[in-house]
């Protein structure tokens, strides 16, 4: 007999060889195991439906087996006691407040695996996690926390394939049994360790876009800062120094200055950590040391940063498209013509070739930048990104990403090409917004160019393939060249 | 010895039993079951390819085993009789018109499971479904209808993972066997009951966007109504009362009035059923009673309604962007200036601050509304929505959705802020289009606000968690608090 | 006892109750097989993590088992020899340069299955593929090449479900064993034949958008051609004949002529092969003959062609939206008014109804075309396309696609409706760009209309259902009507 590690019980191997079901039979038998569900609410019903569809038999445990509403066809309803006896795995789809009834069932639950799917409405409602509470009520059973991220709706629709669910529990065997059922339902299972991790798992479904928080905070902070900065420089300045009321510009003109600025800064912040990481690796001469925590967190939210930047760029584009239909713009155009005619000056009407080239280049760079932006956004859609090979994905996100940054930065530079030397640009001795926003992208681009220098690039490539500089670990080199 | 059908080579079976591979070996054997396919057309070939890739052995049954074109490598071709003997499961990939040959095979098909994958070209071509016809031809076999939604193309490309297929049949065991093969191919199986459901399954692939019908009909109806309404109010009115021909405005101006109106009404119709459902629940004091049929149907096509609304909003946006390059708009602008100069009046050129603020707010609300619209549309992409947790998804679709509705409604209100008091607005005593279209959204928003009142909200939350008001069912309460 | 075909019920239940663990136990044992991984780099670790999550036990083989960095929890590290002994399947996650150490391990690797996951940095770095080299080093083992398209990142994130991986190897059993592990990890396995295909598999991850090459080359070629053509006709012509410098128009005006032209040509090239294929089938009277190679290749990149066309259409749209804010456009508008006033001519200010209708229709067709374009693009997203039935998908891509082409072609025709008769249009006796670009779409549309003629359509439908005209194969007919 082949007992690979001596860990599993004899009986198991025995059962395989003893009963000669043949393949079909074996497989069918495996899947026709009976599972039990406590609770006939939405979640219980949907879970049962899904389990039936995955080839299990399902028995519901209910206090009033005869009056518990419509259950999925093919399932059976019985008392809690009978249901508990009928299965080795029991899914608990009951609110925590009603767990107490299980105390009385304790003798029937001995040796069973209880899967706790419950969630709370808020964080910190109870001192201990639901799963720990359940375990304390039924010490003889093995509690596994998990699958609590599944919604009744997703279960009903069958939108499970490839979804990741977490499990935790103190018994490896129990987790393995639950993992198997979950895998049969099309889920991907992630083991999160002992039952002490239950709190974390229960907090999971209560989170709202955790990975979007940092990028959104940065975006709000930048927007607020640049809004007030430009508000003071433009509106207040005009009111104080020139006694003109241009507050109507807040709605569109000012916003259309703030959005591209925030977008460009966010985009560069999305590529900055990659560059910093490269310098860390170059300095340390190895890729096997962990990055500092802040850099890790930063790198993990690069995708979200980029998408927020795309959102701002999208707003900037639409704000720009509606410029010519605005009342104030039309008014300015008409009054300019009228002024022109009245004063009979013809100079400004000479066609300025430099101006024509300048503004057109400005627009073209903006359009190309936006186009690439949208392309980057599209490839970050899960289904598009998933269909790319790793090399293609990194080509788009790195090469095309830096190209986008370059083009958008150039768009910013051209905007100020003929303004930065005029004294009138520096109202109250402050630099205009577009200058401030060009700092970070320029730094990122310069650093990136340094990295692309052949000598630096070569070292970095070797480091990323596992080579290490430090002579003390020389002996490690060969292992380090693992894929 | 486990000789399932005596067809496979001894050596192989030998190797399984002789070398005690343990599980690996066992598992390999399990998957090497032989399946049979009747029909060597596109579908048959693609199915065979897929089955081979899923680890099965495949035998084709053909009338002329020696001249049936290229078949997937690794499969075998034999006569129908031999193929039928070789497997327990037979996939029928032949047009219904040719089923008769199976009558002669009846003795060989006894006890076998026949999977009928056939589809017809039109609904109602034959009195009975293909599967029932097949069963009547071969009474000794067990017919399972299903997998008929798979296309040869999808099978070849391997785009099966997570796809849902339906099965129906009178034998549970037969369905289970087919379900297992389908699961191995990465499909999710849905049992639709007895063979009498075959008609429904055969009509499935003939449907064209069934869940889009209602929304599209509503959209077409609304578009037609508002188009004629505005056509009469604008074009006919101008022709009759002012004797001006402004029919050229139909193409863009009129359309650009109809699109936002339809978009806003559709968006509010997308949130109205949710509000109605909440009031139903409040009135009944329970969530366990089914909604009326019309409400159910309505709620099921909310996503499609929202997407149609987004389509109209998208058209509205582009129509707006091209306004300034239209000939008539440029002409109006130029003639206005010329008029101005000739008559030497300067009054209208005074800058109107209220106008500037008003139009800019109007545009900004429109842009923000469109931005949120697009965001909602993006999260309704299957791959994006699938990567959100339930709480995140409902946050976006409910909170952000109602915010979008609020902003778009405000966009509509601002449009009419300085017009609704003028008498000239009510041509022929009819209200303008934008007023009509604001009715439904306003109702939805008011009802939603009522629901958000703390006292109402609290009751509703309790009801949605399973609490029931009616004292007669008091005993049910505890079960009702299942998840 | 249990014979698969009989309706086992009884026996089955028996086996459940007799052996206390029943199938659950059996299944658990199956999945707890031990696998071995050589190499503790990023790939090795991520693969190990995934295998552990899929229910396998993992043993790492390392030269220095005590100093090889953090490995996934639950795995064991041992010497290469011990690890090789412990498993039947060994995953080789080591760079090819370090394969030599396996020569010394040869006795331990006898009879084992070695899965070669390695990739090279460039094509053609070594005379023979890595897998062949490995096989030559360890002739006693069975080498399977495959899984090399998996990245450490995708493995860690668990983004495997439904992903397709290729395998090749000379032993069917070995491939089967590897395929099983891969299937457990959620991958779809594609058998690419013998080990001689290893080179192809190793070149796979080095490819960059192979299916995009042809469309992008065509797009670049068309863009370059039309750019120079229009550059000569517009800019050079104006400079030579009229001595005007309008080079500033290159940036926006010229580009905005080139983009729609390329977009329309690409879109029609995307539908041309389908029409050609239909004529091939009509001419041959069968669908069972393979198309010529060039047509096959062309048909395979239709989706990419369409998306490139959409990209150009997107650029065209944005270029159009920003027209009115360009300096030169504003300048032209103002100077026109001023000219007008000074010369006091009023003629051109008469409202031209034909012009108004013409330009508005032109814009409306453009907008509708773009809208349908975007719709086509959206349904080609993997997750959207995957949720459509075959009939829905073909409805959108064929019916809606040809409608898009029709509308966009009409957009082009209207552009030139009042220009094509003027002599001034044919500068230097060359036709304008929009005329050239209308040739291919017009041909496609005419051919498509021919195909839609009832008599042709009927024959084609029959052919596509498998009917064959040629009398010599009359005997084949019945088989040909397979699905």
pLDDT in tens, B173-182: 898 889 888 8
Q: Which helix (H) or strand (E) holds A403?
A: helix A401-416
Q: What is the pLDDT of residue A481?
A: 47
Which of B153, B184, B206 marks a domain boundary?
A: B206
- Per-residue pLDDT of B233-243, as tens digits, reads 889 998 998 88
Considering the domain architecture, whether residues C242 and C130 belong to the same structural domain is answered as no
> C386: which chain B residues are within 8 Å (Cβ-Cβ)?
159, 163, 382
B383 touches chain C (CB under 8 A): yes
Q: How far is B98 from chain A (nearest CA, A)?
A: 30
**C209-243 burial, b for 16+ CB within 10 Å, e for fewer?**
eeebeebeebbeebbeebbebbbebbbebbeeeee
Considering the domain architecture, whether residues B266 and B189 belong to the same structural domain is answered as no
Say if the Cβ atoms of B318 and C483 lie within 8 Å.
no
In the block, residue with structure tokens 């907090």: A203
Model confidence, pTM: 0.84
- Per-residue pLDDT of B313-372, as tens digits, reads 999 999 999 999 898 888 888 887 777 777 665 545 678 888 888 899 999 999 999 999
Decide if A480 is inside a domain. Answer: no
Say if the Cβ atoms of A371 and C326 lie within 8 Å.
no
Q: What is the pLDDT of residue A158?
A: 66
Point out the residues of chain C with pLDDT beneath 50. Answer: 1-31, 347, 473-481
> A158: which chain B residues are within 8 Å (Cβ-Cβ)?
164, 188, 190
Residues 6+ apart with CB under 8 A from B172: none
Considering the domain architecture, whether residues A60 and A127 belong to the same structural domain is answered as yes
- CA-CA distance, B249 to B88, in Å (whole number)? 69
Q: Give me the DSSP letters along B54-101.
A: TT-EEEEEESSTTSS----TT-EEEEHHHHHHH-SEEEE-B-GGGTTH
Q: How far is C144 from chain B (nearest CA, A)?
A: 16
In the block, residue with structure tokens 């940092």: A214
- CA-CA distance, A87 to A113, in Å (whole number)? 9
Say if the Cβ atoms of B288 and A98 lie within 8 Å.
no
Which of C145, C173, C206 marks a domain boundary?
A: C206
Q: Are B70 and B119 in contact (CB under 8 A)?
A: no
Q: What is the pLDDT of residue A215?
A: 94
Question: A248 in helix, strand or coil?
Answer: helix
Q: Are A410 and A238 in contact (CB under 8 A)?
A: no
Q: Are A118 and A126 in contact (CB under 8 A)?
A: no
Give me the number of domains chain A comprises: 2
Distances (CA, A) of B153 to B46, B49, B157, B202, C281: 8, 12, 6, 19, 19
Residue C173: phi and psi, rounded to 5, are: -65, -40
Residues 6+ apart with CB under 8 A from B313: B259, B260, B263, B267, B369, B370, B373, B408
- CA-CA distance, C397 to C375, in Å (whole number)? 10
Following CA atoms A110, A116, A118, A122 in sequence, which dihedral angle do they give, to the nearest 10 degrees?
Answer: 100
CA C247-C249-C254 angle, 5° bins = 115
Q: Give me the DSSP letters along C105-117.
A: HHHHHTTPEEEE-
Closest Cβ opposite residue C55 in set A7, A179, A392: A179
Point out the residues of chain A with pLDDT beneath 70. Answer: 1-31, 158-162, 343-349, 470-483
Decide if B478 is inside a domain. Answer: no
Q: What is the pLDDT of residue C309?
A: 96
> A153: which chain B residues are within 8 Å (Cβ-Cβ)?
390
Question: CB neighbours (10 Å) of residue C162?
Answer: 20
In the block, residue with structure tokens 């990323």: A464
Question: B263 in helix, strand or coil?
Answer: helix
B76 touches chain C (CB under 8 A): no
Q: Are C122 and C206 in contact (CB under 8 A)?
A: yes
Taking 60 as the threshold, does the pLDDT of residue B442 lie above it?
yes
- CA-CA distance, C41 to C24, in Å (whole number)? 35
A162 touches chain B (CB under 8 A): yes
SS3 content of chain B, % helix, strand, coil (to 5): 65, 10, 25
In the block, residue with structure tokens 């004091």: B285
Considering the domain architecture, whether residues C215 and C175 belong to the same structural domain is answered as no
HSE of A455 in the Cβ direction (CA atoms, 13 Å)?
0
With CA atoms as reference, the chain B residue closest to C160 would be: B161
Q: Are B164 and A185 in contact (CB under 8 A)?
A: no
ipTM reported for the complex, 2 dp: 0.81
Considering the domain architecture, whether residues B318 and B346 belong to the same structural domain is answered as yes
Which of A160, A191, A206 marks a domain boundary?
A: A206
Q: Which helix (H) or strand (E) holds B15?
A: helix B10-18
- Per-residue pLDDT of C315-369, as tens digits, reads 999 999 999 999 888 888 888 777 777 766 554 567 888 888 889 999 999 999 9
Say if the Cβ atoms of A67 and B476 lie within 8 Å.
yes
Strands (DSSP E) found in C147-217: 164-169, 188-191
Considering the domain architecture, whether residues C404 and C457 belong to the same structural domain is answered as yes
Sign of CA dihedral C14, C18, C20, C21: negative
Q: Give me the DSSP letters along B236-250.
A: IHHHHHS----GGGG
Considering the domain architecture, whether residues B98 and B196 belong to the same structural domain is answered as yes
- CA-CA distance, A406 to A369, in Å (whole number)? 9
In the block, residue with structure tokens 């310098």: A279
Q: Which helix (H) or strand (E) holds C89?
A: strand C89-92
In the block, residue with structure tokens 């009129």: B254
Decide if B479 is inside a domain. Answer: no
In the 3-class helix/strand/coil scheme, how is A283-304 assigned residue by residue? HHCCCCCCCCHHHHHHHHCHHH
Decide if A446 is inside a domain. Answer: yes
Q: What is the largest CA-CA distance in chain C?
A: 108
Q: Are A121 and B481 in contact (CB under 8 A)?
A: no
Considering the domain architecture, whether residues A336 and A453 belong to the same structural domain is answered as yes
- Per-residue pLDDT of C361-408, as tens digits, reads 999 999 999 999 999 999 888 888 777 877 888 888 889 999 999 999
- CA-CA distance, C370 to B186, in Å (whole number)? 37
Q: Are C24 and A10 in contact (CB under 8 A)?
A: no
Considering the domain architecture, whether residues C244 and C156 belong to the same structural domain is answered as no
Q: What is the pLDDT of residue C1?
A: 34
Closest Cβ opposite residue A22 in set C4, C63, C93: C4
Q: Between β-strands A142-146 and A164-169, what pairing exists: parallel, antiparallel or unpaired? A: antiparallel
With CA atoms as reference, the chain A residue closest to C56 would be: A176
Q: Are C388 and C396 in contact (CB under 8 A)?
A: yes
- CA-CA distance, C47 to C61, in Å (whole number)? 13
Average pLDDT value over all residues in chain B: 82
- Which CATH number fits the domain that encloses residue A137? 3.40.50.720
Interface test with C, best of B24, B340, B374 (most C CBs within 10 A): B24
Q: Are B28 and A26 in contact (CB under 8 A)?
A: no
Say if the Cβ atoms of B55 and C349 lie within 8 Å.
no
B382 CA to centre of own chain: 10
Q: Are A193 and A169 in contact (CB under 8 A)?
A: no
Nearest to C25 by CA among A84, A1, B30, A17: A17
- CA-CA distance, C178 to C183, in Å (whole number)? 9
Decide if B220 is inside a domain. Answer: yes
Q: What is the pLDDT of residue A229?
A: 94
Question: A344 in helix, strand or coil?
Answer: coil
Q: How far is B297 from chain C (nearest CA, A)?
A: 20
Residues 6+ apart with CB under 8 A from A43: A93, A117, A150, A151, A152, A155, B482, B483
Decide if C479 is inside a domain. Answer: no
Considering the domain architecture, whether residues B236 and B194 belong to the same structural domain is answered as no
Considering the domain architecture, whether residues C10 and C50 belong to the same structural domain is answered as yes
- CA-CA distance, C6 to C12, in Å (whole number)? 11
Distances (CA, A) of B343 to A170, B331, B337: 91, 18, 10
Following CA atoms B269, B274, B277, B278 in sequence, which dihedral angle do they give, to the nearest 10 degrees?
Answer: -130
Decide if A482 is inside a domain. Answer: no
Say if the Cβ atoms of A324 and C321 lie within 8 Å.
no
Q: Are B256 and B295 in contact (CB under 8 A)?
A: no
- CA-CA distance, B129 to B199, in Å (whole number)? 5
A93 touches chain B (CB under 8 A): yes
CB contacts < 8 A, A to C, total 239
Q: Residues of B numbered 207-266 whose beta carbons fall under 8 angstroms of chain C's beta carbons: which are they?
A: 207-209, 245, 248, 251-252, 255
Decide if B465 is inside a domain. Answer: yes
Say if the Cβ atoms of C24 and A88 lie within 8 Å.
yes
B357 touches chain C (CB under 8 A): no
Domain residues for the domain of C71 are 5-206
Considering the domain architecture, whether residues A149 and A293 belong to the same structural domain is answered as no
């Amino acid at each position: 007999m082949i007992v690979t590690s001596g860990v599993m019980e004899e009986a198991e191997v025995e059962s395989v060889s003893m009963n000669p079901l043949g393949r079909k039979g074996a497989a069918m038998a495996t899947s026709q195991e009976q599972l039990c569900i406590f609770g006939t609410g939405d979640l219980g019903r949907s879970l049962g439906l899904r389990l039936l569809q995955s080839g299990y038999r399902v028995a519901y445990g209910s206090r009033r087996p005869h009056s518990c509403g419509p259950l999925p066809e093919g399932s059976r309803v019985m008392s809690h006691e009978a249901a508990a006896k009928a299965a080795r795995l029991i899914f608990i789809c009951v609110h925590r407040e009603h767990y107490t009834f299980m105390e009385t069932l304790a003798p029937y639950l001995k040796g069973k695996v209880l899967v706790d799917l419950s969630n709370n409405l808020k964080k910190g409602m109870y001192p201990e996690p639901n799963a720990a509470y359940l375990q304390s009520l039924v010490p003889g059973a093995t509690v596994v926390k998990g699958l609590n991220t599944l919604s009744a709706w997703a279960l009903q629709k069958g939108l499970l394939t490839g979804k990741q669910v977490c499990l935790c529990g103190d018994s490896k065997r129990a987790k393995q049994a639950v993992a198997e059922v979950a895998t049969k339902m099309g889920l991907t299972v992630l083991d999160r360790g002992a039952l002490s991790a239950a709190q974390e798992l229960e907090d999971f479904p209560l989170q709202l876009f955790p990975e979007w928080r940092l990028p959104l905070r940065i975006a709000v902070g930048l927007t607020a800062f640049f809004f007030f900065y430009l508000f003071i420089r433009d509106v207040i300045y005009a009111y104080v120094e020139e006694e003109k009321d241009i507050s109507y510009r807040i709605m569109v003109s000012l916003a259309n200055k703030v959005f591209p600025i925030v977008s460009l800064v966010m985009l560069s912040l999305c590529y900055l950590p990659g560059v910093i990481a490269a310098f860390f690796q170059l300095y340390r001469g190895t890729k096997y040391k962990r990055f500092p925590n802040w850099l890790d967190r930063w790198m993990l939210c690069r995708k979200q940063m980029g998408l927020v930047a795309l959102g701002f760029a999208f707003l900037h584009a639409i704000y720009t498209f509606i410029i010519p239909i605005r009342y104030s713009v039309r008014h300015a155009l008409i009054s300019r013509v009228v002024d022109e005619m009245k004063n009979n000056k013809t100079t400004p009407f000479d066609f300025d070739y430099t101006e024509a080239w300048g503004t057109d280049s400005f627009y073209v760079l903006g359009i190309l930048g936006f186009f690439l932006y949208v392309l980057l956004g599209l490839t970050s859609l899960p289904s598009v990104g998933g269909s790319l090979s790793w090399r293609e994905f990194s080509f788009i996100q790195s090469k095309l990403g830096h190209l986008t940054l370059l083009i958008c930065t150039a768009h910013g530079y051209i905007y100020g090409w003929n303004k930065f030397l005029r004294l009138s640009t520096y109202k109250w001795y402050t630099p205009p917004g577009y200058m401030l926003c060009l700092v970070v992208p320029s730094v990122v681009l310069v650093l990136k160019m340094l990295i692309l220098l052949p000598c630096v690039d070569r070292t970095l490539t070797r480091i990323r393939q596992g080579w290490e500089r430090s002579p003390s670990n020389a002996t490690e080199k060969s292992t380090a060249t693992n894929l």
